[in-house]
Homo-oligomer: A and B are copies of this chain.
Amino acid sequence: MSNIDTKINDRRTTGIQKHGRAAKVVSDVLRSTCEELNDVGFSALRVEDVAERAGVNKTTIYRRWPTKNELVVEAIRNSYVTEHEFPDTGVLRDDLVQYLRIMIKRTKNPVARGAMLTLNNCTDPALKPIAEELLGRARGYRTSIVQRGIERGELPAHTDAELVSDMFSAPILRRLMSLGETVKPAYIDSVVDIVLAGAKAVPPPKAKK
């Protein structure tokens, strides 16, 4: 190998390492932010504590995220990127049960849980836009799962997909997010069974008194 080749390789390697280090810092900081959210909540979160947890200097954080709000918003958004892995088994009941199992699993991961708790208990105006965006997107996913079931004929054509979407998820999300309770698989099964049986049984809106 010529001297020039070596130099180029050196430069490339340094470039990759630099890039790799920067990416690692970003991912460490964002993960640590969510973990802090899980431990102390948004109001009490301090950028100093995030820096310490991530093992970086406070100024490193402020250079990229000038305010605590910007840091938290990116950390939450980043933790929601993986959210697209949603069930599509071809059977509505299985999709709903799997969706709820994924929710429970996510609450056992401190990073996902920090982001979810913050969005679902959001009283701070600074976080309202991101909460509305991401919770609205989640509702959209759930509604599309139900919609697919309606299109397959598993629920009557007159079913309100968004209503059913709220109904199968709210009892579980409320227990996990607002009440800090655990949810057992049998609870999920019972909720889904009652919602689906109810949606099948209710008459179309026009037939109502």
Say which residue of B170, B177, B180, B198 sits within 8 Å of A194 (CB atoms). B198
Chain A residues 150 to 209 lying within 8 A of chain B, measured CB to CB, are 160, 163-164, 166-167, 170-171, 173-175, 177-180, 187, 190-191, 193-202
| Nearest chain B residue, comparing its CB with the CB of A175 | B166
Contact assessment for A166 and B171 in the assembled complex, using a CB-CB cutoff below 8 Å: yes
Measured CA separation A160–B200 after assembly (Å): 20
Measured CA separation A174–B173 after assembly (Å): 8
> What mask results when residues 42 to 79 of chain A are scored 1 for a CB within 8 Å of chain B, else 0?
11100000000000000000000000000000000000
> What mask results when residues 106 to 146 of chain A are scored 1 for a CB within 8 Å of chain B, else 0?
00000000000100111110001000100100000000000
Contact assessment for A135 and B179 in the assembled complex, using a CB-CB cutoff below 8 Å: yes
Say which residue of B123, B166, B202 sits within 8 Å of A174 (CB atoms). B166
Contact assessment for B198 and A120 in the assembled complex, using a CB-CB cutoff below 8 Å: no
Measured CA separation A120–B173 after assembly (Å): 12
Count class of interface residues, chain A: 35 or more
Measured CA separation A195–B170 after assembly (Å): 13
Say which residue of B43, B178, B194, B202 sits within 8 Å of A163 (CB atoms). B194
| Nearest chain B residue, comparing its CB with the CB of A172 | B170
Residue of A178, A191, A197, A200 with highest tally of chain B CB at under 10 A: A178
A191 CB contacts on chain B under 8 angstroms = 163, 166-167
> What mask results when residues 88 to 122 of chain A are scored 1 for a CB within 8 Å of chain B, else 0?
00000000000000000000000000000100111
Contact assessment for A167 and B179 in the assembled complex, using a CB-CB cutoff below 8 Å: no
Kindly list the 3 A-B residue pairs having the minimum CB-CB distance in the complex, ordered from nearest.
Answer: A198-B198, A43-B43, A194-B198
